[in-house]
Amino acid sequence: MVLIDAGPPHPVFWQKILQGDYWLFSRINQHWTSSFLDTVFSFIRQGEFWIPFYLFLLVFVTLNFGKKGWLWSLYLPMTFIISELISRYLVCDHLVFRLRPCNNPLWADSMRLLTNSCPTNSGFASPHACYHFAMAFFIFRTLGPTSPWWKGIFIWASLTSYAQVYVGIHYPLDIVLGGSLGAVIGISTARLFRLQAGTLHLQTYKSSHA
């Protein structure tokens, strides 16, 4: 297992990356803050906050795409499960270990922890960012042809991931790597879906069932 922030000195280029990562974390967690943002980001990182959105997705696809919609409803949680398993149980538990900022003595006297507890497992790469970006890419790649508004799904993934840094659970680099891994997973599951179900076209579906 690779250890980050521990062991022998890292190469110069990696030290520069870590220094930039620490600097950006300090900006997000300690300086670019307000009481309003404290409340907002503490809420939006919670999965329960997005339950109405998930219900809307399921209703939308099943009403508009019939059997393909039901298949889509299986692929979305499958995308979540795959990204969760790979990021949390393969990368974090077996490949890379990095102390989360809320557990790192480096930040003991300066960082703000806006959650009730700090996870003790590795923070690299962020499972939270991984499964949100995996779902975002799957949603965009499958539902994108139905409306240009689905591009906004990346705002959702970005805000929920940014919140993890804001509250002190992850470093920005954890988010970037987790999101990148999630993008690969989401694109892959979307490709599998489209190979099985084809491209979803809202107007075509409605006209064929008129």
Q: pLDDT (tens digit, 9 = 90+) per residue, 107-159?
A: 888 999 999 999 888 888 899 999 999 999 999 999 999 999 999 999 999 99
Distance CA 120, CA 155 (A): 28
Split into its structural domains, the chain has a count of: 1
Domain containing 6: what range?
A: 2-208
* Maximum alpha-carbon separation in the chain: 68
Distance CA 132, CA 77 (A): 11
**Residues in Cβ contact with 155 at an 8 Å cutoff, skipping those fewer than 6 apart:** none
Residue 127 CB neighbours (<10 A): 26
Q: How far is CA 123 from the centre of its chain?
A: 13
Residue 30's CATH number: 1.20.144.10
154-181 pLDDT tens trace? 999 999 999 999 999 999 999 999 999 9
Q: What is the DSSP string of 18-76?
A: HHHHHHHHHIIIIIS--HHHHHHHHHHTSGGGGHHHHHHHHHHHHHHHHHHHHHHHHHH
pLDDT of residue 204: 45
pLDDT of residue 206: 45
pTM for the whole structure:
0.89
Distance CA 184, CA 93 (A): 20
